[in-house]
């Protein structure tokens, strides 16, 4: 890809160039979609061993102050007050209408300190959204995005590999917990989180340390496979993880997206509460639903889905699952849709058979055994 001058680059950009990665625009950044081995090989490396991802395009906001927890609670749907220091939670930010502004991870770094990790394409939008409510609270908001690099180590062998490069007790870090330590001498927040359905860690590093840490994994640990956005997408879709801009957006609510478990009504007021409360009382008319192709085909976002004799709108996410060998997709179907019911996906003007299915599509990952 000829690099566009308007695209940002991550601190690891030169490493991707060195590895002859195929770079594509994503969230305003030039990002590797795949390396020499290709998406399928990268996907299988993560499912069976360990892969390394550059996810430094993600945004990080720091919220501090006496009412930091109150601000975070007000702008997110989950309940950050329930977090202990060293714990993280998946959450969402909503408009007053209930539509999803973004999905994010909330880290409790201290009693009055939180880190919000947001999607790259939404950094500016999320900043404006949170800032609109900032003056109501005794709290400060800082954008740390440019100074932080984020490396993900994912797969059933991730802990064994990382253990050789850190003295931190990885056994003590539970799922959605984190610890501060060092990786090859570089200060890091070591978080047991990820987007693949496999065990693994995400390492928050100073941008200046990231190349040294990246090279330590690839130069010392020969079984580690660099993986790009293509494998990240197939891995997350197989396990039913939502992608902002595809499965969720400002026109969809967490309840429609089967993310109702992120909405904690009992915590008190938050942005979008009234709309979500009303929708919950009335019942949603549609839900994000899985589809399995029963014929050969490659479903992609935008392909039309036909259910019960009428158009049900577009495929939101779609691929052929490398761990499955058949096409999988998500779409918003009527809430009455049941697993096993027939549907079709229009691919290149041809009707391809499909059936409604439960998610996740793939259940053999190391987090699900």
Q: What is the 3-state secondary structure (H, E, C) of 83-152?
A: CCCCEEEEEEEECCCCCEEEEEEEEEEECCEEEEEECHHHHHHHHHHHHCCHHHCCCEEEECHHHEEEEE
CA distances from 325 to 128, 322, 340, 354 (A): 42, 6, 19, 14
Instruction: Give the mean model confidence (pLDDT) for residues 26-31.
Output: 96
Report the distance separating Cα 269 and Cα 274, nearest Å: 9
Domain ranges of the chain: 13-56+147-238, 285-357
**pLDDT (tens digit per residue) in 333-360:** 999 999 999 999 999 999 999 999 999 9
Assign domain 13-56+147-238 one CATH number from 3.40.605.10, 3.30.479.30, 3.30.1360.120, 3.40.350.10: 3.30.1360.120
Residue 1 has pLDDT above 60, yes or no: no
Q: Name the band, by pLDDT with cuts 50, 70 and 90, for residue 2.
A: very low
Report the distance separating Cα 276 and Cα 132, nearest Å: 20
Instruction: Give the mean model confidence (pLDDT) for residues 140-157.
Output: 98
Lowest mean pLDDT among 99-103, 175-179, 208-212, 219-223: 219-223
Q: Name the band, by pLDDT with cuts 50, 70 and 90, for residue 297.
A: very high
Report the distance separating Cα 369 and Cα 359, nearest Å: 16
- CA 180 vs. chain centroid, Å, equals 22
Q: May I ask the CATH architecture of the domain 285-357?
A: Beta Barrel (2.40)
Q: Name the band, by pLDDT with cuts 50, 70 and 90, for residue 3.
A: low
Of 181, 197, 200, 201, residue with least CA distance to 189: 181
What is the reported pTM? 0.96
Mean pLDDT of all residues in the chain?
96
**pLDDT (tens digit per residue) in 188-199:** 999 999 999 999
């Amino acid at each position: 890809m000829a690099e566009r001058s308007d695209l940002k680059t991550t601190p690891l950009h030169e490493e991707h160039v060195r590895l002859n990665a195929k770079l594509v625009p994503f969230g305003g950044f030039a990002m590797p979609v795949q390396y020499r081995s290709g998406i399928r090989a990268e996907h299988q490396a993560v499912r069976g061993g360990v892969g390394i991802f550059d996810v430094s395009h993600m945004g990080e906001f720091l919220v501090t102050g006496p009412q930091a927890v109150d601000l975070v609670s007000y702008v997110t749907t989950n309940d950050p007050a329930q977090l202990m220091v060293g714990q993280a939670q998946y959450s969402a930010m909503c408009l007053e209408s209930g539509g999803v502004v973004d999905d994010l991870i909330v880290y409790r770094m201290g009693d009055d300190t939180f880190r919000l990790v947001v999607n790259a394409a939404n950094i500016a939008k999320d900043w404006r959204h949170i800032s609109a409510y900032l003056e109501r609270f005794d709290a400060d908001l800082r954008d740390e995005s440019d100074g932080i690099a984020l490396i993900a180590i994912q797969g059933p062998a991730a802990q064994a590999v990382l253990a050789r490069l850190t003295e931190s007790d990885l056994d003590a870090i539970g799922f959605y917990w984190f610890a501060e330590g060092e990786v090859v001498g570089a200060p890091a927040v070591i978080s047991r989180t990820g987007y693949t359905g496999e065990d693994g860690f995400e390492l928050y590093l100073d941008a200046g340390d990231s190349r040294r840490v990246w090279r330590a994994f690839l130069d010392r640990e020969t079984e580690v496979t660099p993986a790009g956005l293509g494998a990240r997408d197939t891995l997350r879709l197989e396990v039913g993880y939502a992608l902002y801009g595809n499965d969720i957006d400002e026109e969809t609510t967490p309840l429609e997206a089967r993310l109702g478990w992120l909405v904690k009504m009992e915590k008190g007021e938050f942005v979008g509460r009234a709309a979500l409360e009303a929708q919950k009382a009335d019942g949603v008319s549609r839900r994000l639903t899985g589809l399995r192709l029963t014929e050969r085909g490659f479903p992609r976002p935008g392909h039309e889905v036909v259910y019960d004799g009428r158009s049900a709108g577009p495929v939101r996410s779609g691929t052929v699952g490398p761990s499955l060998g058949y096409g999988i997709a998500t779409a918003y179907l009527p809430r009455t849709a049941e697993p096993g019911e027939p549907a079709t996906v229009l691919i290149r003007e041809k009707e391809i058979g499909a059936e409604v299915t439960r998610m996740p599509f793939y259940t053999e990952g190391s987090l699900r055994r």
